[in-house]
Structure 1
């Protein structure tokens, strides 16, 4: 869980801090933002960070499963080195396949640490500086998986749902202080997300679940490499949106044409389920 940074130099350009910059959307955002800003790219994979470095990014190798104190120390060094952080993009995340019962305590802790706790820790690290300046932008990337609990991906879906809810609270808390927090609901994008090495599986296997989960495993296999979203276009959209100015940055941004239908479908299913037993629901209040 060590960290290493490139040479320190303060910059007059806007400073972006991007997690998950070793691959996928994070790498695409780092490369696009580096065209007009100073970018500090965080990632666990050194090879991916070399790609970001060639694009002009400063790099910090950091495992987001590190302790909160370690992340705070690394971020303090980043702020000291770069002078400030104007934009934080929490793009890091991964999927863990398996039934809820198959998921070990360590696997559950690891995915929540990466997908939920790390983004909040990073936000806590930069917010004092943003509050002091009365300006700053944070993008928290949740996604289509958080709209409902999918079999074979319960840990992932619940982590993204948790990040979305925390983000909604954070944006209401920081908005009056001049800090804009945007919840990015990401659709299916053609990245390495579902490839071997990125797509993890629970170490424990329970055969009873195979008839339930096997169709989902095959669906994931079929989706890999066929996702409709272009990560380069998504990255450009985020960079362009920052140029609109803080007051015009949306609090909720769907990236991917598959997102609105997925979220509306999830909401409609819950609405129908809730109203099915409306008589029982309304019978539980105290008598006037």
Structure 2
């Protein structure tokens, strides 16, 4: 549906804008938030948005690879229809399987557009309204893949790492203005994320990499449908945190018991590398 042609939203309830709302965590958040808020649910597949619509959400079909102008227009329509946007949840994203050399320029551009540029474009579109009101919350969903570069998922891991660091910068910039920006580090949750059709693969396959990448492909297949996380529980946590007040929203929110050990492991590997090569590292300073 088009917000520009739909009836104005007159409810005094807070207004949420949720992307990736046709499946997975985005859908779970949209459904949970709709119990206490007005939710504008954004997704690429109009038919799959029907679940969110039945839960009481206003729905908008939008491919997040759209131009910045198109995304700004959708946000402008939301503000016009609802009067404001209190909470933005950037939950959309996908994984691309394949080695770095196998990944084409277009495939890399597409995943960064969806996983990085779209969340930042949406944030840029809502921030003027939040700054004007001196209040608001933005949740950017990164994830466990961004802690280190994994073979067979370099494009995905790097996109999530980029989103995480941009989010950390944004939260320091907007905090003094009364706007809370939260980096959500998401673990493995039982959603359609790793299912065939959702998990994309590079068009090019270089057989020389098969001995390295095939075990990772099998690991993804084995993890699918066996992820430990419950998306409905994660959605409840996120919605409840917002309900406690903007000033109670953390800058970093880890969702999933597999997140802390994964991040600590990644940091420990880097720490060991720093320690091992400390003499070389320190030898490059100017003489006192």
* Same fold per superposition (TM over 0.5): yes
Task: Give yes or no for the alignment of 1:260 onto 2:274.
Answer: no
Give, in whole Å, the separation in 1 of the partners of 2:191 and 2:107. Answer: 23
User: 1:7: Cα distance to partner?
Assistant: 2.4
User: 1:246: Cα distance to partner?
Assistant: 1.0
Task: Give yes or no for the alignment of 1:97 onto 2:97.
Answer: yes
Give, in whole Å, the separation in 2 of the partners of 1:83 and 1:203. Answer: 44
Give, in whole Å, the separation in 2 of the partners of 1:241 and 1:8. Answer: 30
Q: 5 Å matches for 1:118-197?
A: 118-197=118-197
1:68-96 CA-to-partner distances (Å, cap 9, x unmatched) read: 11111121111111111000000000000
Give, in whole Å, the separation in 1 of the partners of 2:198 and 2:75. Answer: 25
User: 1:244: Cα distance to partner?
Assistant: 1.1
Question: Structure 1 runs of 4+ off > 6 angstroms?
Answer: none
Say which SS state the counterpart of residue 219 (structure 1) adopts: helix
The normalised TM-score by structure 2 is 0.98
1:103-131 CA-to-partner distances (Å, cap 9, x unmatched) read: 00110000000000000000000000000
Give, in whole Å, the separation in 2 of the partners of 1:255 and 1:282. Answer: 37
1:8–1:82: 8 Å Cα contact kept in structure 2?
no
1:193-226 CA-to-partner distances (Å, cap 9, x unmatched) read: 0001110000011000000000000000000000
User: 1:8: Cα distance to partner?
Assistant: 2.9
Say which SS state the counterpart of residue 40 (structure 1) adopts: strand
Question: Which 10-residue stretch deviates more, 43-52 or 207-216?
Answer: 43-52
User: 1:150: Cα distance to partner?
Assistant: 0.1
Give, in whole Å, the separation in 2 of the partners of 1:271 and 1:263. Answer: 12
Which residue matches 2:279?
A: 279
Give, in whole Å, the separation in 2 of the partners of 1:8 and 1:42. Answer: 17
Say which SS state the counterpart of residue 240 (structure 1) adopts: helix
Unaligned runs of 5+ in 1: none
Task: Give yes or no for the alignment of 1:9 onto 2:8.
Answer: yes
Which residue matches 2:84?
A: 84
Give, in whole Å, the separation in 2 of the partners of 1:4 and 1:101. Answer: 41
Q: 5 Å matches for 1:207-222?
A: 207-222=207-222
The normalised TM-score by structure 1 is 0.98
Task: Give yes or no for the alignment of 1:109 onto 2:75.
Answer: no
Aligned residues, how many? 286
Give, in whole Å, the separation in 2 of the partners of 1:104 and 1:51. Answer: 34
Cα-Cα RMSD = 0.9
1:254-285 CA-to-partner distances (Å, cap 9, x unmatched) read: 00000000000000001001111110100001
Unaligned runs of 5+ in 2: none
Give, in whole Å, the separation in 2 of the partners of 1:280 and 1:273. Answer: 11
User: 1:47: Cα distance to partner?
Assistant: 2.0
